Amino acid sequence: MRRITLPSGESIPVLGQGTWGWGEDPGRRGDEVAALHAGLELGMTLVDTAEMYADGGAEEVVGEALAGRRDEAFVVSKVRPSQASRSGTIAACERSLERLGTDRIDLYLLHWQGRYPLQDTVAAFQQLVADGKIRYWGVSNFDHLALADLRDVPGSSGLATNQVLYNLSRRGPEYDLLPWCTDHQLPVMAYSPIEQGRILHDATLNDVAAGHSVSPAAAALAWVLRRDSLCTIPKASSPQHVRDNATALEVELTREDLDALDRAFPPPSGPRRLEML
């Protein structure tokens, strides 16, 4: 498993597991737990969740799946902006810890910027680190201007990552955000790398996938993973889906592949507003 390095010096897998949509249907819970277990066996130990997903239900599934295996995973969760005051962030983290059945979250993110001052949220993150309840903190859905503002906040040197929407059909970050993160040595975590399946019927993507004897999803993941200092967290709802995602690690896209995908999914020619799902 290829890895990227966080500012702390700790490394995490480039390919992890997302849980958006987990915990919504009790009938799928067994498959969700089995999927996470399959990913752990494949080295996909980066596990992303959030208090917002199924109103905490996804965290509960992750907690069940990691029972007795907590040390195998690098767990990411997030605080809602509506909870992100100094005291609210701490309380939200404690609720997430309880649902996850753990004593620490490895990486705790502000899900997106809201009405509370960033200095209050960052102060809460620092307190949570000091108390051993989280190891690192970061943000999600921040454009390069918001990240620049964050650098002026006391304690912001602890920023570990920015998680953003990035895939073949959402290439806006390439124009300004990704270069900014590279310049400031800030790793990026890409969510929804296959656009929730909406890009998988594209003819060019299917042709590229066929050329490498992989699925369109694996080809789309390989395209995201072509970048250094970037990891991604696709959701998989079954062990077979997880195994399919893992084949992306074996794909090395050619210059011809990349040129064809550029024609099908043109890169940005100017700044775009950061998109969210």
Active site residues: 53
Buried b (16+ CB within 10 A) or exposed e, 30-46: ebbbbbbbbbbebbbbb
Largest CA distance in the chain: 53
Tell me if 111 is assigned to a ligand binding site.
yes
How many Cα atoms sit within 13 Å of 114 on the Cβ side? 17
Q: Do 52 and 39 form a contact (C-beta atoms < 8 A)?
A: no
Q: Residues near 127 by Cβ (< 8 Å), separated by ≥ 6?
A: 86, 90
CA distance 27 to 22: 11
Q: How far is CA 159 from CA 15, 137, 149, 218, 256, in A?
A: 21, 6, 13, 30, 37
Q: Do 159 and 254 form a contact (C-beta atoms < 8 A)?
A: no
CA distance 49 to 254: 33
Q: Residues annotated in the binding site for substrate, as ranges?
A: 111
Annotated binding site: 111
